[in-house]
């Protein structure tokens, strides 16, 4: 029979043997504690990348929803108080108003736009368009005569035949491009509707849980509370400037210019009105990118008075909206150099497509906010750290006294 172990033997694994003493700082457990923060950072970074990959297809929807919530929060809070502090009902009514005010007009304009694209494709691809263009660019045509006079005065070697071929090729390419756009427009309706529903659901839940989410993110951020709030304020300012100021002003420019387009008898007013509305977002370009070619078209068609009237009216209303209405709607929300606005809008459109109208100025404004924080709070601290001195009072990441 085996004799029991003496008390002086090694400790037993049974609970009766008492708690196991903590290992010394030089033991293996201390080594794990030393690398635990780095291991956690690796896991945290991998989790962020994975979540970002999952949510990447809906990033634009969430950005639009966040900007919309920042703009609607004040109205939502008023409605919440009026309804006796019932957040689900208040958020639902807010989203319903958005559907009526935004989604329904977008659907109607989209339907009219599709019909216009198809008509334009048929017009520019039909035989009548080629006959008209050949008449204009033939030896005795209006365009050919104008080019011949211009070449005679300047001495430039301009061939009417080459111009005619280029115009006909451009019309053919335009017709084919419009056909492709019409087909892609139809196939993208379901995708557009899906993103619209996701955006509305995001707005619904962000209105209800927005304050809790803001508090949670501020608690995670190592920045001071007022610095975190600065980024949120900048996001709201850009949203107000782009969606309300630039959006309403540019839409009205496109609407009025589209009506003038229809009055003078030009085809596809919805299509070109939308193009002019998009062009009106660009401060150094505007509706002139479409109005000037259309004016030349009317002039060479022999409608000289109509061309002059069309040009004066469209550019005049653009001037009023651009320098009268837009600054009032935008207020002081987006005080940015016009060149930076132009480059951020154009770069955003080239990089992200249509959502770049919002993303470009947003990225530029966030960069300017970071530059402002660096100049006012972090420049001296970073310089002190790099010089080997002690950090300023209040720590490296927090302002003094926070």
pLDDT band for position 157 (cuts 50, 70, 90): low
Mean pLDDT of the chain: 75
Give residue 1's pLDDT.
46
Q: What is the DSSP string of 7-33?
A: TTSPPPSSGGG-PPPPPPTTSHHHHHH
Q: For the chain, what percent of residues have pLDDT higher than 90?
A: 10
* Per-residue model confidence as pLDDT tens digits over 360-384: 888 888 888 888 888 888 888 888 8
Give residue 168's pLDDT.
61
Q: Which two tokens stand for residue 204?
A: 């619904």
Q: Which two tokens stand for residue 249?
A: 């002003």
- Sorted by where each begins, the domain ranges of the chain are 57-220, 224-382
pLDDT at 390 over 60: no
Give residue 243's pLDDT.
73
Give residue 120's pLDDT.
63
Give residue 74's pLDDT.
86
Residues 6 or more apart whose CB falls under 8 angstroms from that of 129 comprise 123, 171, 175
* Per-residue model confidence as pLDDT tens digits over 299-326: 877 888 999 999 999 999 888 887 777 7
Tell me the average pLDDT across 47-66. 88
Distance (Å) of CA 371 to CA 77, 233, 245, 366, 376: 33, 15, 25, 9, 9
Residues 6 or more apart whose CB falls under 8 angstroms from that of 333 comprise 237, 238, 240, 241, 245
* Per-residue model confidence as pLDDT tens digits over 242-289: 777 777 888 888 889 989 998 998 877 888 888 888 888 776 678 888
* Distance in angstroms (rounded) separating the CA atoms of residues 392 and 385: 9
Among 44-53, 139-148, 180-189, 274-283, top mean pLDDT goes to 44-53
* Distance in angstroms (rounded) separating the CA atoms of residues 297 and 128: 16
């Amino acid at each position: 029979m085996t004799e029991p172990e003496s008390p002086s033997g090694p400790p037993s694994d049974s609970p009766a043997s008492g708690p196991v003493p903590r290992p010394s700082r030089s033991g293996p457990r201390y080594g794990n504690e030393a690398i635990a923060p780095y291991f956690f950072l690796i896991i945290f970074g991998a989790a962020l990348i994975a979540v970002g990959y999952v949510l990447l297809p809906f990033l634009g929807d969430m950005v639009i929803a966040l900007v919309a919530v920042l703009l609607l929060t004040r109205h939502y809070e008023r409605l919440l108080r009026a309804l006796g502090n019932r957040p689900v009902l208040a958020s639902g009514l807010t989203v319903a108003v958005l559907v009526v005010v935004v989604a329904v007009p977008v659907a109607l304009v989209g339907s009219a736009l599709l019909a216009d694209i198809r008509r334009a494709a048929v017009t520019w691809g039909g035989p009548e368009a080629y006959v008209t263009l050949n008449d204009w660019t033939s030896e005795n045509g209006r365009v050919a005569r104008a080019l011949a006079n211009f070449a005679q005065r300047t001495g430039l070697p301009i061939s009417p035949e080459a111009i005619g071929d280029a115009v006909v090729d451009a019309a053919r390419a335009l017709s084919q491009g419009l056909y492709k756009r019409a087909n892609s427009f139809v196939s993208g309706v379901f995708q557009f509707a899906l993103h619209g529903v996701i955006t509305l659901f995001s707005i619904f839940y962000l209105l209800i849980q927005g304050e809790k989410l803001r508090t949670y993110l501020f608690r995670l951020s190592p920045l001071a509370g007022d610095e975190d709030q600065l980024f949120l304020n900048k996001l709201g300012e850009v949203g107000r400037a782009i969606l309300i100021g630039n959006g309403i002003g540019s839409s009205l420019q496109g609407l009025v210019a589209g009506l003038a387009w229809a009055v003078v008898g030009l085809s596809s007013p919805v299509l070109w009105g939308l193009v002019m509305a998009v062009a009106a977002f660009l401060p150094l370009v505007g509706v002139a990118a479409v109005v000037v070619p259309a004016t030349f078209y009317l002039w060479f068609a022999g409608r000289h008075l109509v061309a002059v009237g069309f040009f004066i009216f469209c550019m005049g209303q653009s001037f009023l909206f651009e320098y009268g209405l837009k600054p009032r709607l935008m207020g002081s929300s987006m005080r940015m150099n016009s060149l930076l606005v132009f480059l951020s809008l154009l770069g955003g459109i080239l990089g992200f497509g249509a959502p770049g109208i919002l993303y470009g100025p947003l990225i530029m404004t966030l960069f300017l906010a970071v530059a402002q924080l660096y100049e006012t709070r972090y420049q001296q601290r970073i310089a002190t750290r790099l010089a080997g001195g002690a950090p300023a009072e209040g720590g490296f990441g927090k302002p003094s006294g926070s």
